[in-house]
Structure 1
Amino acid sequence: MDNVNILNNLQILQIKKNHENEVRKLIFEGLSERFGFIDDSLNPDLNNIVEFYIEKGDIFIVGRYNEKIICTGAIIKENDHTGRIVRMYVKK
């Protein structure tokens, strides 16, 4: 697979409710790989991603390739001049 093919078929979208299960799975895979375990109590934002990010005015995007979520990222507004990048994950 070449880079041109990927770019031509990659969609960057704001998360929607119907993406949440697939996004949670991708993020938990990354957390498990990095830390060796998953503690749900440390990730309350993943219980309702749209409500936690979008409804509060923050940004949460997903990358979709061949109808599958392959990456995520969010920006949380810290103040009028600063945002914090969080939840950056890419499927292996």
Structure 2
Amino acid sequence: MTLVGFLVLLVIAAICGAVGQSLAGYDLGGCLVSIVVGFIGAYIGLWIAGKFGLPRMFEISIEGKPFPIIWAVIGSAIFTVLVALIRRATAGPRY
């Protein structure tokens, strides 16, 4: 994978992570955290889709490597909600 392809992949993951965090209503951090949340969300979303036999929807191919946009957003939202619940349970509600 070239540098340009890798940077495009990072930008797409950041957008998916940010949208997932917005849907969950909880912000985990800045741009780098959004990239990580986007990649984790893609794995979670594809795992859920595989378990329920759902099709891969709206994939973007970057240099031959597919990135599932819809499942990344859904997985990012689920991951963000889980992290928010764990934080709230351990640290208490925010003021």
Higher relative contact order (CA 8 A, sep 6+): 2
By percentage of residues, which structure has more helix?
2
By percentage of residues, which structure has more strand?
1
TM-score by length of 1: 0.31
TM-score by length of 2: 0.30
